[in-house]
Copies of this chain bind each other. A is one copy, B any other.
């Protein structure tokens, strides 16, 4: 369990891409820093061509920005940027929930309910790991349940790594466990009732709450300095 898209690296560029993405998302390569093709190719012991290809793919994930004849830099993180991403998440995942209510199979919905009740036990027993992995699992299933291939690709391959980068590096790993769990429950109920309208509304509110939660944290973080 817990592996949705086992994107396995077949080529060298794949490996370089995955590795660089990990290092960028987790801050090992600093936000805003320049990506020197030469430097990286010696560091990873591959040719410049594969580094270039990896950088191109990072650019299409919006993790780095490239200027012709000048080079690529890791995107710089701003609170506004994170808020913008949450606006997009609200729109896309709201639609995903709507579609999931229409297109998920009965057995997929039962699995989703099962996931939730197993998570309920964990939360009750104070296994606090819920927030990160559990929340992600829940959202992934609904995204996949939309059965909209383009939407799935946009969210899974693109947006989520960006969001994760922001959350890791701006220190937004906070809990918000208990209320989020109830929100998940209501979303699943709407889906199992085959109520697309409500599923979308609830998902959007769920993401708005997350966004507000993060916004206040960002504000308090800034006031500490």
Q: Chain A: residues with CB nearer than 8 A to chain B?
A: 10-11, 14, 49, 52-53, 56-57, 59-60, 62, 68-69, 81, 84-85, 87-88, 90-92, 94-95, 99, 148-151, 153-154, 162
**A interface: dominant SS:** helix
Write the nearest CB–CB distance from A64 to chain B, whole angstroms: 13
Known A60-B57, A62-B150, A150-B84; judge A11-B92 contact (CB<8 A): no
Q: Nearest chain-B residue to A150 (Cβ)?
A: B84
Q: Nearest chain-B residue to A84 (Cβ)?
A: B148
Write the nearest CB–CB distance from A22 to chain B, whole angstroms: 19
Docked-complex contact A88 and B57, CB < 8 angstroms = no
Q: Nearest chain-B residue to A95 (Cβ)?
A: B91
Q: Nearest chain-B residue to A157 (Cβ)?
A: B60
